[in-house]
Amino acid sequence: MERTDILSKVIDIVNDVLGVDPQDISEETTFDDIDADSLDRLQLVTAMEDEFDVEIPDERLEAIGSVYDAVEAIEAALEA
């Protein structure tokens, strides 16, 4: 799966879960930028794992603080 496809799906998930306008989300967007609290982040990661049919290791979860980090974690999980 291409990185651009992963990014597009992650942006869609952020929109679906948090209601953030997709035009306001880029790879550089942090979850702090969009006021995502810890519960929001958990919901985002769960939705991403479901969408991509992957499991992101717990130690990697703690490092996900932006859309970029999420895309990187998904790419790594898809390659595993």
Phi and psi angles of residue 74, each rounded to the nearest 5 degrees, phi first: -65, -45
Catalytic: 37?
A: yes
Q: Which entry of 37, 50, 58, 69 is annotated as an active-site residue?
A: 37
Contacts (Cβ under 8 Å, ≥6 apart) of 73: 56, 60, 61, 63, 64
Can you tell me which residue has the tokens 């999420």?
70
Q: Which residues are catalytic?
A: 37
